Copies of this chain bind each other. A is one copy, B any other.
Amino acid sequence: MPQTKVVSLEKLKTACKNCGLAKLCLPLGLENNDIERLDAIVQRNRPLHRGNHIFQTGSRFGSIYVVKSGTIKSYTQCPNGTEQVVGFHLPGEVVGLDGIETGKHICSAKALETTAVCEVPFSRLEELTATVPGLQHQMFRLMSKEISKETGLMVLLGKSTAEERLAAFLLSLSVRFHSYGFSSTEFNLSMSRREIGSYLGLALETVSRLFTHFQEERILEVDRKHIKILEVDRLFQLLSDQNGCLERLQHPHNTETPGQ
């Protein structure tokens, strides 16, 4: 029976209403009917391989993308060759909202590992949001969340020490993996030390040393890309000492609110 093959093929094409990410992607229950209309415009392309781009700086904006599995890195390339990472996007998270304003992307986005994304053509989405008020509200919330997230990162980059930055980063990953249904204490990093450093405004050597340091302190167990958080509390403590405000800012999406 070709059953297996069919199932594995179908996995990629799960309708929104059966998608494990629906609660992240569509946090507030839309009518079944509406979900189906959204479903109809979503394009499910074949998975991206490590290094494949979804879009590049300056390219025409046409769609937004929801990560289904894997990791997307968004970054800008400076003329001198160095790159600046501006975001890591995990399953359930959206990429490409930056392009709406000007119609061109202001950064590039590429897969850090084998990654599946749903592509949502924006003009079709707009037609839909215009007629489905619940969906429009969802979009506003989504974009607001993105703004809040970046505000939190600004605070982190503005005043925190290297130690606080890495602690915040690890906690953020932990929370996000957890909400995707994975372990919050044990996971693999899909990004390099250099990429983490770029994102956090640190040198890769500093990131490497901090991992060693956290390991010596028995806060983490680190084996290259594999991370095991031994003491979440100590990580939180590192933040709250100076930056109580960060907890709130870093994970505003954590507190599910019974919608507006």
Instruction: List chain A positions with a Cβ less than 8 A from chain B.
Output: 76-80, 82, 84, 86-87, 97-104, 106-107, 123, 126, 129-130, 133, 136-137, 139-148, 150-155, 157-159, 198-201, 240, 242-245, 248-249, 252-253, 255, 257, 259-260
Q: Contacts of A154 on B, CB cut-off 8 Å?
A: 86, 150, 153-154, 157
From B86, B100, B244, A141 is in contact (CB under 8 Å) with B100
Q: How far is the CA of A123 from the CA of B199 in the complex (A)?
A: 36
Interface of chain A: mostly helix, strand, loop or mixed: helix
Q: Contacts of A144 on B, CB cut-off 8 Å?
A: 97-101, 143
Residues A76 and B249 in contact, CB atoms below 8 Å apart: yes
Given contacts A140-B139, A154-B86, A198-B158, contact A148 B98 (CB under 8 A): yes
Residues A158 and B255 in contact, CB atoms below 8 Å apart: no
From B98, B104, B137, B158, A147 is in contact (CB under 8 Å) with B98
Name the distance in Å between A136's Cβ and chain B's nearest Cβ.
Answer: 6
Question: A99, A152, A154, A244 — which one has the most chain B CB atoms within 10 A of its CB?
Answer: A154
Q: How many copies does the complex hold?
A: 2
Name the distance in Å between A85's Cβ and chain B's nearest Cβ.
Answer: 8
From B106, B130, B146, B201, A159 is in contact (CB under 8 Å) with B201
From B87, B98, B242, A78 is in contact (CB under 8 Å) with B242
10 closest cross-chain pairs (CB), A and B: A100-B144, A158-B201, A150-B150, A79-B244, A157-B157, A101-B144, A143-B143, A101-B145, A76-B245, A78-B245
Name A198's closest neighbour in chain B (CB-CB): B158
Q: How far is the CA of A107 from the CA of B144 in the complex (A)?
A: 13
